[in-house]
Structure formats: C-alpha cells, structure tokens
C-alpha cells in the first residue's frame, strides 16, 4: 500500500479542502510535490500532517503553522465566533491510497464533541 500525499487533503469544518504537508517537509517547500509513502504488509505508518492553507508568513518572511481554527476565539468578546460554535462540526482527512495498483479513497472523520479551554 502507498499513501499518495499529493492527492490527499484536509477538509475543514466548512467543507474546504487543502493539500496536506507532512511533518518532515520544510514549510518553505510546501508547494513542492511530495513522494508517496509505501507501507509494507503487516506494518503501520505514524505520520503528522498539516493543511497547507494554514501556513502563514510573518512580516520578517518566516513561515509558521497557524491554528486549525483561527477564525474562532475563546470568548465572545470580539466579532469572531466563539469556539463553542465548533461543537458538532467535523473535519476530515481524505487519503488517496494505492493498493495493488488500484487507487482507493479513505476518509477519516473527526467530529468535535466538546471544546475545553
């Protein structure tokens, strides 16, 4: 089995898809192609991924990973929605796999059931 990273994505709570970047890729190389990861039979893959559209640039030019839910705040004191409004929403990882030379899609859904801050 092989994970095809360039054909996989993160889907935010609003249904917007974003390309994934793996933890071993420099943020400055976020737009470059990423090779697939082969998972031999009987083994596991543990990987950290992050949506490319949450990578931001500071005024000094350096890049950083923004929060997954930057539009939400911890209280209702601003014009942004409170984090509590995320309860019941879902985010997803869409993974394109190559299994026996056949492309297969796997979607892993994460439902936000509680917000604690």
Rounded CA separation 3/36 (Å)? 5
Position 76 in a domain = yes
In a domain, 59, yes or no: yes
The reply to whether the predicted model has a pTM over 0.85 is no
pLDDT of 47:
94
Range of the domain at 65: 2-111
Task: Report, as an integer, the average pLDDT of 5-31.
Answer: 94
Confirm whether 116 is domain-assigned: no
Residue 117 falls inside a structural domain: no
Residue 97 lies in a domain: yes
In the chain, the number of structural domains is 1
Place of tokens 């898809």: 17
Q: What is the Cα gyration radius of the chain?
A: 16
Q: What is the pLDDT of residues 47-105, one digit of tens each?
A: 999 999 999 999 999 999 988 876 655 555 555 566 778 889 999 999 999 999 999 99
Is 9 contained in some domain?
Answer: yes
The answer on pLDDT for 23 being more than 60 is yes
């Amino acid at each position: 089995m092989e994970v095809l990273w360039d054909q996989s994505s993160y889907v935010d709570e609003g249904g917007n898809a974003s390309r994934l970047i793996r933890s071993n890729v420099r943020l400055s190389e976020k737009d470059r192609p990423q090779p697939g990861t082969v998972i031999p039979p009987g083994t596991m893959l543990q990987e950290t991924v992050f949506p490319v559209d949450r990578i931001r640039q500071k005024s000094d030019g350096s890049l950083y990973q923004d929060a997954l839910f930057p539009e939400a705040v911890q209280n209702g004191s601003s014009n942004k929605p409170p984090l509590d409004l995320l309860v019941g929403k879902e985010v997803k990882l869409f993974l394109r796999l190559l299994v026996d030379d056949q492309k297969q899609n796997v979607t892993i859904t994460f439902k936000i059931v509680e917000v604690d801050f």
